[in-house]
């Protein structure tokens, strides 16, 4: 067949195809969707999606048929053919439609529809049979419907066939030949791929019909496809109880471990599978690692072990890449399978770990543990963003903790080690205090600066010095900026303890020993009038010693108290 004849064949068959799609749309889909009480909300949504994608495909075919008529009256250059020039639009439209109809099929298909819809379909069974080109009168209604709505996929084979005919009209070395040949391969490849997708959907539907009802309701999803399962006892759990039942089901997005009426779902994006060596006692064993579980599966034969390992690895790889196994458009070769990476990016919500229960981690992983940069969020609003190592916060990171009572939050930015604040960091408290310095085991430890309030606030203060286990200890300086008072000296357990110096804005100066925030022991007190008292101070405000005149050798509590209290009032307020 020549070039022009092949183009006429394409135009003619495209118009017929458009006419059939239009009939299905106007005589089946539109009346069906106009009925009330079609079924559950999910069923209606899935059917509406099928109808929407079908309408889009119908419109595309109609436009293509019209463009072919214009093309035949024009220059007729092969490279200007819409089916070549906009091949990605055709391929995407068919893929989207196939996805919607297979999702509908997996969830039960037309059997999900309520009685009014089924009655309508039964009344129009002859029309359905004619449109679907099913000649056997004994064919069941549901089978006719499946054939009818998968009918558009067959058109891809026709595209591939006609494009190949057109290619033979050119020299093998010409660009036109290569373009037509490649496009033909693309359409044929997609047709085969979508055919496999239909079989996967039918296989999955058959599985759901035999699966226990309650678990089906929770596990069944439109996009979920069955890859393989262990009901033939080809796979078992190591060290399982004698009477336990363990059923493993591999879907395209998760590995499910079912036991009697319970089950657990392990998302593939955070699942690692590796074969056990003979030295580890696992001739036919597979080690499965997830963020919160690790278990060993034993296969019945080496062949089963290879089969399951390959199936899991391929499924994990596809889940991580977020794509189907369809080759890239323009390539006739199949995708080279890869072992899923040990290090990967994924999102996971913890359900078991007490520290992380219900928290969601989104970031890098390594062999089942957060490792690298990531974000960890708890339901109560806590959030850590930064580096992880072996499942714990480690490295530089930012941590936020809501304070509901104050309607603010604590905020830490700095270094971490093994899940705890450790090293240099800045902690801003909801109260307004800010600590800059060293941390260890989530506590202030080492040298640091604590600021309370701002310079414009009613009570700004500052401490700079040493900390031990979240308390002031060692040498430190406390400066009460509002009162103009400063303490420089030793601390222990958050109180002044040992030698120190106090200076106030009123000219009072004390240098000596402190005990539990009180001047106690040997010391020198200088008042604002330059009077110096040197001697032994006690916690009942008794002073034994001399003043700078040398006339007072010993001053008792009663004689000194009125004057001494006046002198020390500011110091007492400052220290306490």
pLDDT (mean) for 449-466: 80
Confidence of residue 244 (pLDDT cuts 50, 70, 90): confident
Confidence of residue 531 (pLDDT cuts 50, 70, 90): confident
Q: Kindly write down the DSSP assignment for every residue of 284-335, as one continuous string.
A: TEEEEE-SS-EEEEEESSHHHHHHHHHHHHHHHHHHHHT--SPPPTT--SPP
Residue 543 has pLDDT above 70, yes or no: no
Which pLDDT tens digit goes with each residue over 133-170? 888 878 888 889 989 999 999 999 999 999 998 888 88
pLDDT (mean) for 25-49: 90
CB-side neighbour CA atoms (13 Å) of 289: 12
Q: Exposed (0-12), middle (13-18) or buried (19+): which is 460, by Cβ within 10 Å?
A: middle
pLDDT (mean) for 492-511: 92
Q: Which residue would you say has higher pLDDT here, 328 or 169?
A: 169
Mean pLDDT (the chain, rounded): 87
Residue 366 has pLDDT above 60, yes or no: yes
Residue 24 has pLDDT above 50, yes or no: yes
Q: Which residue would you say has higher pLDDT here, 268 or 112?
A: 268
Lowest mean pLDDT among 212-226, 349-363, 460-474, 542-556: 542-556
pLDDT (mean) for 54-59: 95
Confidence of residue 213 (pLDDT cuts 50, 70, 90): confident
Residue 242 has pLDDT above 60, yes or no: yes
Name, in order, each residue with C-beta under 8 angstroms of 45's C-beta and a sequence gap of 6 or more: none
Confidence of residue 27 (pLDDT cuts 50, 70, 90): very high
Residue 465 has pLDDT above 50, yes or no: yes
Which pLDDT tens digit goes with each residue over 177-204? 999 999 999 999 999 999 999 999 999 9
Give the separation between CA 576 and CA 573, rounded to whole angstroms: 5
pLDDT (mean) for 59-77: 84
Confidence of residue 75 (pLDDT cuts 50, 70, 90): low
Confidence of residue 338 (pLDDT cuts 50, 70, 90): low
pLDDT (mean) for 228-250: 85
Amino acid 69: pLDDT: 83
Element holding 492 (H helix, E strand): strand 485-492
Give the separation between CA 248 and CA 23, rounded to whole angstroms: 45
Distance from the Cα of residue 169 to its chain's centroid: 53
Amino acid 483: pLDDT: 82
Amino acid 74: pLDDT: 73
Amino acid 550: pLDDT: 44
Amino acid 557: pLDDT: 37
Residue 226 has pLDDT above 90, yes or no: yes
* Beta pairing, strands 294-299 & 285-289: antiparallel
Amino acid 567: pLDDT: 46
Amino acid 413: pLDDT: 98
Give the separation between CA 256 and CA 249, rounded to whole angstroms: 5
Counting residues of the chain whose pLDDT is more than 70, the rounded percentage is: 89
Q: Are 349 and 359 in contact (CB under 8 A)?
A: yes
pLDDT (mean) for 116-141: 87
Amino acid 553: pLDDT: 41
Name, in order, each residue with C-beta under 8 angstroms of 255's C-beta and a sequence gap of 6 or more: 248, 249, 265, 266, 268, 271, 288, 312
Amino acid 66: pLDDT: 87
Residue 216 has pLDDT above 90, yes or no: no
Which pLDDT tens digit goes with each residue over 403-439? 999 999 999 999 999 999 999 999 999 999 999 999 9
Amino acid 387: pLDDT: 98
pLDDT (mean) for 45-59: 95
Give the separation between CA 423 and CA 436, rounded to whole angstroms: 11
Amino acid 575: pLDDT: 54
CA distances (Å), origin 422, targets 6, 108, 361, 377, 531: 75, 55, 21, 20, 48
Q: How many CB atoms lie within 10 A of CB 26?
A: 11
């Amino acid at each position: 067949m020549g070039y022009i004849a092949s183009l006429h064949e394409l135009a003619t068959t495209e118009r017929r195809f458009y006419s059939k799609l239009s009939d299905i749309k106007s005589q089946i889909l539109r009346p069906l969707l106009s009925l009330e009480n079609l079924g559950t909300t999910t069923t209606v949504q899935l059917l509406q999606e099928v109808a929407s994608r079908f309408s889009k495909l119908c419109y595309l075919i109609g436009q293509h048929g019209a463009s072919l008529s214009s093309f035949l009256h024009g220059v007729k250059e092969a490279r200007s053919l819409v089916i070549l020039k906009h091949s990605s639009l055709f391929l995407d439209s068919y893929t989207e439609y196939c996805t919607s109809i297979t999702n509908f099929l997996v969830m039960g298909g037309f059997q999900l529809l309520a009685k009014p819809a089924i009655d309508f379909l039964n009344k129009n069974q002859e029309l359905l049979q004619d449109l679907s080109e099913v000649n056997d009168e004994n064919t069941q209604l549901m089978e006719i419907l499946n054939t009818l709505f998968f009918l558009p996929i067959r058109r891809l084979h026709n595209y591939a066939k006609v494009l190949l005919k057109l290619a033979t009209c050119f020299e093998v070395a010409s660009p036109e030949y290569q373009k037509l040949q490649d496009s033909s391969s693309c359409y044929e490849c997609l047709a085969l791929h979508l055919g496999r997708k239909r079989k996967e959907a039918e296989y999955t539907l058959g599985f759901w019909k035999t699966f226990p009802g309650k678990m089906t309701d929770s596990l069944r999803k439109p996009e979920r496809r069955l890859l393989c399962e262990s009901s033939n006892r080809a796979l078992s759990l190591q060290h399982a109880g004698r009477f336990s039942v363990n059923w493993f089901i591999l879907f395209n997005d998760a590995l499910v471990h079912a036991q009697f009426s319970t089950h657990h779902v392990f998302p593939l994006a955070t699942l690692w599978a590796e074969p056990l060596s003979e030295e580890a006692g696992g001739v036919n064993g597979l080690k499965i690692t997830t963020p919160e579980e690790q278990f060993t599966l034993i296969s019945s034969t080496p062949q089963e072990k290879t089969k399951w390992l390959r199936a899991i690895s391929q499924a994990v790889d596809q889940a991580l890449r977020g794509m189907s196994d369809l080759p890239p458009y323009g390539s006739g070769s199949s995708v080279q399978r890869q072992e899923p990476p040990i290090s990967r990016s994924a999102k996971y919500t913890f359900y078991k770990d007490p520290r992380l229960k219900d928290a969601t981690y989104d970031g890098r992983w390594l062999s089942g543990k957060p490792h690298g940069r990531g974000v960890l969020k708890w339901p109560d609003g806590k959030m850590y963003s930064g580096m992880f190592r072996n499942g714990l916060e480690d490295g530089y990171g930012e941590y936020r903790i809501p304070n509901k009572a104050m309607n603010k939050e604590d905020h830490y930015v700095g270094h971490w080690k093994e899940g705890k604040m450790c090293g240099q960091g800045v902690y801003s408290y909801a109260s307004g205090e800010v600590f800059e310095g060293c941390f260890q085991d989530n506590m202030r430890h080492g040298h640091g600066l604590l600021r309370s309030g701002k310079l414009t606030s009613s009570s700004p203060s500052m401490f700079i010095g040493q900390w031990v286990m979240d308390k002031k200890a060692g040498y430190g300086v406390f400066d009460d900026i509002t009162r103009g008072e400063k303490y420089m000296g030793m601390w222990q357990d958050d109180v002044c303890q040992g030698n120190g110096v106090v200076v106030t804005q009123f000219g009072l100066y004390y240098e000596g020993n402190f005990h539990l925030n009180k001047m106690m022991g040997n010391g020198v007190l200088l008042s604002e009038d330059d009077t110096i008292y040197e001697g032994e101070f006690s916690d009942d405000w008794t002073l034994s010693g001399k003043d700078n005149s040398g006339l007072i050798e010993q001053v008792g509590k009663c004689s000194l108290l009125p004057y001494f209290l006046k002198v020390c009032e500011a110091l007492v307020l400052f220290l306490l």
